[in-house]
Copies of this chain bind each other. A is one copy, B any other.
């Protein structure tokens, strides 16, 4: 089954939100991607509409920007 994807970049805001999201929806029900490390997935995140991290892309393609850790420009450095 397709899962929502939680994109983050390892920042403190990201890690805190990641814990909350995993508590809420369960570890096995979300794919967690650190685009600070998996940099080849930055383009995919941007194409999905992610403007900042942390963000969750739902299975229907909606983007939920959660709090604000870093912009994509900051992630790309």
Interface residues in chain A, defined as those with a beta carbon under 8 Å from any beta carbon in chain B: 4, 16-17, 20-21, 23-25, 29, 56, 58-60, 62-68
Distance A63 CA – B20 CA, assembled complex (angstroms): 9
Q: Chain A at the B interface: mostly helix, strand, loop or mixed? A: mixed
- Whether B16 and A58, one on each chain, are in contact in the complex, defined by CB atoms closer than 8 angstroms, is no
Q: Nearest Cβ in chain B — how far from A45, in angstroms? A: 16
Nearest-CB residue, chain B, relative to A67: B65
Contacts of A56 in B (CB 8 A): 24
Q: A60 near B25 (CB under 8 angstroms)? A: no
* A66 interface neighbour in B4, B60, B65, Cβ under 8 Å: B65
| Separation of A62 and B67 alpha carbons in the complex (Å) | 11
